Amino acid sequence: MRAERTTTRMTGGILSALWRLVWPSRPDPDKSRRRARARLLISGMIASSCFFGIGAKAVWLVTGNFDSYSHSGVAAGGAERGAIFDRRGRLLASTMPALVLHADPKMILDPQEVARKLAPLIAGRTPADILKALSRKSRYIELDRKITPRRHAAILKLGLPGIYLTPTSLRTYPHTNEAAHLVGQVDIDGTGIAGIEKSMNAQLASGRDVHLSVDLGIQAIVRNALAAQIKKFEALGGAGLVMDMRSGELISLVSLPDYDPNRFSLSDDEARFNRATKGVFEMGSIFKVLNTAIALETGTASLASAYDVSKPLRVAGYSIRDYHPYNRALNLSEVLVFSSNIGSARIAEAIGPEIQKSYMEKLGLLRRPQLQLPETATPLYPRNWGRISAITIAYGHGLSVSPVHAAGAIAAAAGNGFYVEPTLIKRQEGELFEKTRIFSGDTTRKVRSMMRLVVAHKEGTANFAEVPGYRVGAKTGTAEKTRIGAAGYNRKANLTSVIAAFPIHDPRYLIFVMVDEPKPQKHSYGYATAGWVAAPVIAEIVKQAAPVLGVLPVDINAPEIGQNLETDLTIGGKGALLASF
Amino acid sequence: MFRVVLILCFVVAVSGSALYMTKLSVDGRYDELARLKDEIDAAEERAIILSAEWAYLSRPDRMLNLSANLLSMQPITQDRVLPLDAIPMRRQSAPRQGEGNAR
């Protein structure tokens, strides 16, 4: 009762106080002024706070960073991997948008149904494979990385829960096998693991394109001609290249067998192996070109020098013989044109091992080439380079090099005397590059003339490399391969190769062709030598590639042919006629 | 004093609002830029796909087969390749009647 009375009294007091504040019972001017001032102050403060708040918010909105809703699309992402082009701008490798198909097993209601429905849409996967993949304890199971737009639509149409498609990028090689060993490969993260993709990874990864020196048209010509001959002679494989001798640019570089870089995982080691740059071989008689050039350059031989080849040469218990024995002395030109091992050995004896080794070193034959490919090889050469080594190296045994090594070195002897490091990157107009003079113009003129006679003379070993209208010079090499897991050579397993230069009176292009273990055939009368196997490939390449390379057929009577070749050569006791050139 | 504060607050509010409006219009421009960029990206993507497709369809091997099957073309023989200046120029035609001036 008492508490009730107290509450009623308090409520009445508050109400009367409020009433007096709103409607003062006794107007007092001073008091009223004070109250008005207080009201004004409070209202002003509230208004100021509102304005301040609005202003502060406006400033915050202006200066704040709101990527999430305003301009997220403008933010620059990581650079797309650069493309690889050939020297004429044809696309060899590019990165395309693609979709990854993946699954989250926890979200899948019926794995069997999913496996059954997806199997026809994933290349090379059975329902059992998919079911097995879905049983893994992971929330991200990748099912396919190459989803085409058509399959994309079909998968979406299935409407399977737990199956997702995420945008990604895919490295594609539209020319498939054509330049497989050159372009190489990237791994699942897009990092180069082979070929140019690996060696130029930094440049490609930063989004910059790479322009190769290779011409895809010439590449196709070399590849087709070589593949046809490998098939014809049931060979294991082969390698071929075309090089611009003036700039060192490789216009073509082929290794067979090859593979489709779009299906890299399906290829075997044999196909992935780059014979043109990674394989080292004893090249055989094509080294006689270098032997002759060194002899002429050092003055240890002249065109008039004669060498007795009538009997086999006995060296350290071994007998050096000729494939076609001659029962007389041969001059320097004949030693090369008839490919005499005995004659070459005698020339090398006169040169001496030290000088021979120093030339091999200058010609880049004792080190790994500076080619823009990770798949290069270090040559194999004797630790003790003595008389016996010098003799065998003279005709291409005892020193194992890759086709790229051989091309770089022989280009100096069969070209204009300069050694230029072979390159796979297109040279820019007016680009300066290193070239070292190894042989004089006089030496190379004589060597080229002899190489021309190897093709043009009836007793030369590369008659099948002749192409009417084009002056081709060449040297063949048929080397027995070393036995695998045993000492000595396998007489039935040959490595046949031909190195050629054209046009020989104005050397521009060098062609190298190698066929590994060709088998004797009926159509070759049981022969499987370089002259039968590799020389026709040279002719085919010249015939098809010369017009593409802008090399025009020449008139035999054109004065530059006589001027640029040595006409004072004697073969078989007779002077070589200008017509032979 | 109080009046000054009020005026300052008003100025801050007005300028803040003006800045906000500017910001909104910049955002609009950014959206437009993003849209254009998306369009360019899509066009570039299409160009990449098309150039890869073109490269695939113009493979030398394929062209060789197509030309052999459809065009019956043959490789150029050496006697058909000539430098441009080896082709004789067309003879100057004789002046037509009535063009010359007799003296």
Whole-complex ipTM: 0.73
At A167, list the tokens. 């945008």
Whether B12 sits inside 8 A of A55 (CB atoms) is yes
Residues of A in contact with B53 (CB under 8 A): 174
Q: How confident is the model at residue A375 (pLDDT cuts 50, 70, 90)?
A: very high
pLDDT at B38: 94
Residues of B in contact with A71 (CB under 8 A): 27, 30-31, 33-34
Counting beta carbons within 10 angstroms of the beta carbon of residue B99, is it exposed (0 to 12), middle (13 to 18) or buried (19 or more)? exposed
Lowest mean pLDDT among A189-193, A371-375, B12-16: B12-16
User: How high is the mean pLDDT of chain A?
Assistant: 89
The pairing of strands A141-144 and A163-172 is unpaired
Strand partners, A142: A102
At A1, list the tokens. 């009762």
Q: Which residue has the higher pLDDT, A485 or A170?
A: A170
Whether A74 sits inside 8 A of B33 (CB atoms) is yes
Q: How confident is the model at residue A392 (pLDDT cuts 50, 70, 90)?
A: very high
pLDDT at A145: 83
Q: State mean pLDDT over B58-68.
A: 89
Lowest mean pLDDT among A386-400, A404-418, A556-570, B65-79: A556-570
Q: State mean pLDDT over A205-233.
A: 95
pLDDT at A371: 95
pLDDT at A449: 93
CB A306 within 8 A of CB A329: yes
- Model confidence at B80: pLDDT above 50: yes
Residues of A in contact with B45 (CB under 8 A): 97
pLDDT at A10: 78
pLDDT at A70: 40
User: How high is the mean pLDDT of chain B?
Assistant: 83
Q: How confident is the model at residue A27 (pLDDT cuts 50, 70, 90)?
A: low
Whether B6 sits inside 8 A of A175 (CB atoms) is no
CA dist., res. A551 & res. A545, Å (int): 9
A55, A66, A178 ranked by CB distance to B9: nearest: A55
Counting beta carbons within 10 angstroms of the beta carbon of residue A338, is it exposed (0 to 12), middle (13 to 18) or buried (19 or more)? buried
- Model confidence at B96: pLDDT above 70: no
Residues of A in contact with B31 (CB under 8 A): 70-71
Half-sphere exposure of A165 (CA within 13 A, CB side): 19
Distance from the B69 Cα atom to the nearest Cα atom in chain A, whole angstroms: 17
In this complex, how many residue pairs, one in chain A and one in chain B, have their CB atoms less than 8 Å apart? 120
At A326, list the tokens. 């001659």
Q: Report percent pLDDT > 90 for chain A.
A: 64
Q: How far is CA B19 from the centre of its chain?
A: 39
Considering only CB atoms, which residues of chain B are within 8 Å of chain A?
2, 5-6, 9-10, 12-13, 15-17, 19-20, 22-23, 27, 30-31, 33-35, 37-38, 45, 48-49, 51-56, 58-61, 64, 75-76, 78-79, 81-83
Whether B79 sits inside 8 A of A553 (CB atoms) is yes
- Model confidence at B42: pLDDT above 60: yes
CB A85 within 8 A of CB A91: yes
Lowest mean pLDDT among A73-87, A469-483, A553-567: A73-87
Identify the closest residue of chain A to B11 by CA–CA distance. A55
Q: Dihedrals φ, ψ of A498, to 5°?
A: -135, 135
- Model confidence at B31: pLDDT above 70: yes
A285 annotated active-site: yes
* Dihedral in degrees, nearest 10, Cα atoms A62, A64, A65, A69: -70
Q: State mean pLDDT over A143-158.
A: 87
CA dist., res. A516 & res. A480, Å (int): 10
Beta strands in A208-333, from DSSP E residues, in sequence order: 210-211, 237-244, 250-256, 281-282, 306-308, 313-315, 318-320, 329-331
Whether A51 sits inside 8 A of B12 (CB atoms) is yes
Whether A178 sits inside 8 A of B55 (CB atoms) is no
Q: How far is CA A461 from the centre of its chain?
A: 33
Residues of A in contact with B15 (CB under 8 A): 55, 58
Q: What is the pLDDT of residues A412-443, one digit of tens each?
A: 999 999 999 999 999 998 899 999 999 999 99
Identify the closest residue of chain B to A94 by CA–CA distance. B52
Whether B81 sits inside 8 A of A96 (CB atoms) is no
Residues of B in contact with A175 (CB under 8 A): 55-56, 59
CB A479 within 8 A of CB A288: no
* pTM greater than the 0.90 cutoff: no
Coil/strand/helix, residue A567: coil
- Model confidence at B3: pLDDT above 90: no
CA distances from B76 to A161, A509, A542, B73 (A): 60, 20, 12, 9
Distance from the A205 Cα atom to the nearest Cα atom in chain B, whole angstroms: 17
CA dist., res. A170 & res. A262, Å (int): 10
Identify the closest residue of chain B to A53 by CA–CA distance. B13
DSSP character string of A98-159: EEEEEE-GGG-S-HHHHHHHHGGGSTT--HHHHHHHHTSS-S-EEEES---HHHHHHHHHHT
Q: State mean pLDDT over A389-405.
A: 94
pLDDT at B93: 66
Angle between helix A288-298 and A353-362 (nearest 10)? 110
Q: How confident is the model at residue A95 (pLDDT cuts 50, 70, 90)?
A: very high
Q: What is the pLDDT of residues A453-463, one digit of tens each?
A: 999 988 899 99
pLDDT at A465: 94
CA dist., res. A523 & res. A532, Å (int): 10
Q: State mean pLDDT over A223-251.
A: 96
At A231, list the tokens. 């098939």
Q: How confident is the model at residue A78 (pLDDT cuts 50, 70, 90)?
A: low
Q: Which of A366, A409, A397 is nearest to A480 (CA)?
A: A397
Q: How confident is the model at residue A75 (pLDDT cuts 50, 70, 90)?
A: very low
Whether A553 sits inside 8 A of B60 (CB atoms) is no
A48, A221, A470 ranked by CB distance to B9: nearest: A48
Q: What is the pLDDT of residues A482-522, one digit of tens each?
A: 777 666 777 778 899 999 999 998 999 999 999 999 999 98
* Long-range contacts, A190-194 (Cβ 8 Å, 24+): A190/A81, A190/A95, A194/A272, A194/A374, A194/A375
A61, A178, A544 ranked by CB distance to B75: nearest: A544
Q: Exactly one of A252, A255, A285, A339 is catalytic; which is it?
A: A285
Coil/strand/helix, residue A432: coil
Distance from the B90 Cα atom to the nearest Cα atom in chain A, whole angstroms: 23
Q: Which residue has the tokens 């035609």?
A: B93
CA dist., res. A450 & res. A446, Å (int): 6
Whether A174 sits inside 8 A of B59 (CB atoms) is yes
B12, B30, B78 ranked by CB distance to A553: nearest: B78
Outline where A245-320 has alpha helix (H).
Answer: 269-272, 288-298
B16, B33, B78 ranked by CB distance to A55: nearest: B16
- Model confidence at A49: pLDDT above 70: yes
